[in-house]
Amino acid sequence: MMNMIHKRNRRGFTLVELLVSASISVIIGAAMSFAISKVGGQASGGSQATALSQELKPSLDFISDEVQQASRLYGLGDFTSATLSGATGVQPVIGFYAPDVSTATTDDYKFMLFYLADRPDSINYNGPKVLSYYQDSTNTTITAANLPTQAVPTAINVSTGRVLADNLVAQTTTNCLTSQNTTNCINTSVVDTTKKTGIVYLKGTTTNMAGQQSLKTADQSLVVQTRITARN
Amino acid sequence: MRNHRGYRGFTVIELLVTISMIGLFASLALPSFAGLYGRQQLNQAASQIENAVLRGRTLALAKNQAMTLNITIPTAGQSTTYQIVTAANAILSSDTLPSQVAVSTSNGAGSTLTSIQFNARGVITTPAITATAIPMVTLTQNSNTRQVRLLSVLGKVKVVTP
């Protein structure tokens, strides 16, 4: 009898024991992987936002560098009568006349426009909007006396515009002059009455796997801004 | 007889079944490992190009002068060379891609891409990167392809598997 019991103990696990323990470990594993994937998702949202602000910063630096050559800034409210073509969903951010350094004539200016446009495809760019800049190929002659009253060009074709950044959301307001805050003025600029200084706001969005704007409001709150000054 | 049953070991049939099952699983798993080294080398080449673009921009900004990233594609079977040079043709960085990786380029406007030019502020002036004309370097090894796409004048690069 003693010998039987002894033998039984050494026999190892029964099939039922193995099946039960295997199914328990599968259940625990599934619960763990679900919890870990949730943490990972949150972390990737956070790192996307960090990457995005790092990406938008050079765009803002580029804008403020270019603006320094300008004499007068044109904000969103100055483009209401301008016809914008060359891309779908063009929304102006900031524009100005910059002196053309390639010619000796001092009165030669080229118009430069920073704008948002719909992303043309889903392969290359993320987010609903892409930030680009366009520089007029022809010179506009502006004398110092005319400069303060010079209007923006009536027709702007941005088909040759160069891309600066993607992952941006669309503008929601057409006039920021009266509401200078980051809630209303996103991806736009505010230019003060002297037309010499302004603020550029850029609002990025983290994206889902398809590169479209994330629907979570927490993912859409990334706003970077810079104060720009026309020094010329 | 019963006492000795536990120590009898495996029968030939059991061993054969086990070995043949191991063989079966191994032959199922093997094809997915076969291209591993090649794909690894291809991804490595793609990140080499990606890093070269970033380095070109960084050097232009750091030295405050225009930089050019030249990509020289030789005849088939030879290594592609890429160099970062200053406007005065001083070579600041030079490297090669693995010779097994075939390279072709496009400037996004129907021509090849032989150089990427940065101005003194690190902005890519040539090729023209517009939203609809994306310059790219295409890397191919065996049947695998990676496209290194230039997405913004500020040096944003994306590696795509077409």
Look at B130 and A130 and tell me if their CB atoms are within 8 Å: no
Minimum Cα–Cα distance from A126: chain B residue? B151
Minimum Cα–Cα distance from B131: chain A residue? A163
Q: Which of A56, A88, A124, A160 to mutate to test the interface with B (most CBs of B within 10 A)?
A: A124
Location of structure tokens 């072709």:
B104
Q: Is A58 on the interface with B (CB under 8 A)?
A: yes
Q: Is A120 on the interface with B (CB under 8 A)?
A: yes
CA distance B4 to B6: 6
Q: Where do the DSSP E strands lie in B39-79?
A: 67-72
Nearest to B130 among A58, A62, A163 (CB): A163
pLDDT averages per 10-residue partition of chain A, 232 residues:
53 85 95 84 68 84 86 82 88 86 75 90 85 87 78 88 88 58 65 77 74 61 73 66
In this structure, how many other beta carbons lie within 10 angstroms of the beta carbon of residue B120? 13
Q: Is B134 on the interface with A (CB under 8 A)?
A: yes
Q: Is the pLDDT of residue B5 over 60?
A: no
Q: What is the pLDDT of residues B84-134, one digit of tens each?
A: 999 999 999 999 999 889 999 999 888 999 999 999 989 999 899 998 889
Residue B88 CA neighbour count, 13 Å, CB half: 3
pTM of the predicted model over 0.90? no
The answer, yes or no, to whether ipTM is higher than 0.85 is: no
CB-count burial class (<10 Å; 0-12, 13-18, 19+) for A113:
buried
